[in-house]
Amino acid sequence: MHNVISPAVEYSGVTASPRISWREAILLATYHIRLLNWWLFLLMALGFVGSCGVFWLTAHTATLVALGRGNELNRFVLESGAGLVASTLTSFLVVGDPMLEVMMTTRTGIYKVLAWRYLLTLMFLLIFSATYLAWSLWYGTTYTSHQTILFILFTWLAPVLVMSMLGLLGALMTRNATLGAVIAALPLMADLFLHDDLLPIALCRPFIIPFTIWEHDSSDWWLNRFVLLGCALMLALCCWWWLRREERLLGNLR
């Protein structure tokens, strides 16, 4: 007697959607938040608190010279200070991560992991910067004569993007996160110490990072912002090119 075998049941493959749910996104964000270098965020918080204290003392002096210096301090914090913090935080995103090889073999990949960490870093920096901005505006800080939201946004955004990308690229090329942060800080230090010599040169003005401190009402201000954003885009492309070859990246960062 022959056994009767029922027809095979055909199973249709289910293609997984590349989109993730909100719950998965929250869990992924929480995971990357736990992997961030929290001692750097603590230093960032202490820096903003210290700047608030200095400006508070300056504002209570109630002299025109002191108020002018307080306004310069707030422009520095919102522009150069935020950019310096962003470069330091970004240089530590990939270099020195013991789970780098594991990240490359997962479905997420190094690009998405880096994007998640970078966006979370910018989010925390934006929260601290917005808090400082609201506090300084409450005390009557004048960032520019035409003080608009768009102006304040580009005052913060351009140096943050260009210095963070420079810090990341420097860390990838030198295999050292600290050295990458130092490389990103060099152009800012040169601008701060040599601004009397650089500002009269027309070709240098679009590339000066702390341009708002001295030339916040200049007609070249928007040109400076867009040139810095263009430099940030070029640096981001260089970082993308450096991350393309995973074998070289693993050999460099071990």
Say if 11 falls within a structural domain: no
Say if 169 falls within a structural domain: yes
Choose among 66, 57, 80: nearest CA to 195. Answer: 80
Say if 133 falls within a structural domain: yes
State residue 58's pLDDT score. 74
Taking phi over 0 as left and psi of -120 to 50 as alpha, with beta for the rest, 109 belongs to: left
Say if 41 falls within a structural domain: yes
CA–CA dist 216, 146 (Å, integer): 9
Say if 236 falls within a structural domain: yes
CA–CA dist 198, 71 (Å, integer): 22
3-state DSSP assignment of residue 155 = helix
CA distances from 3 to 6, 7 (A): 10, 12
| pTM, entire model | 0.77
3-state DSSP assignment of residue 92 = coil
Domain of residue 249 covers 22-253
Say if 28 falls within a structural domain: yes
Spell out the per-residue pLDDT of the chain, length 254, in tens.
444 444 444 434 444 445 656 666 565 556 556 556 667 777 777 888 887 777 777 767 766 666 677 778 888 888 999 999 999 889 888 776 555 555 555 555 677 778 888 888 898 899 989 988 888 888 777 777 667 888 889 999 999 999 999 999 998 888 888 899 999 999 999 999 999 999 999 999 999 999 988 888 888 999 999 999 999 999 999 998 888 766 666 555 55
**Structural domains of the chain, count:** 1
In our burial notation (b when 16+ CB lie closer than 10 A, e otherwise), range 63-100 reads: eeeebeebbbbbbbbbbbbbbbbbbbbbbbbbbebeeb
Say if 8 falls within a structural domain: no
Q: How many C-beta atoms surround the C-beta of residue 222 within 10 A?
A: 12
CA–CA dist 87, 181 (Å, integer): 6
Say if 72 falls within a structural domain: yes
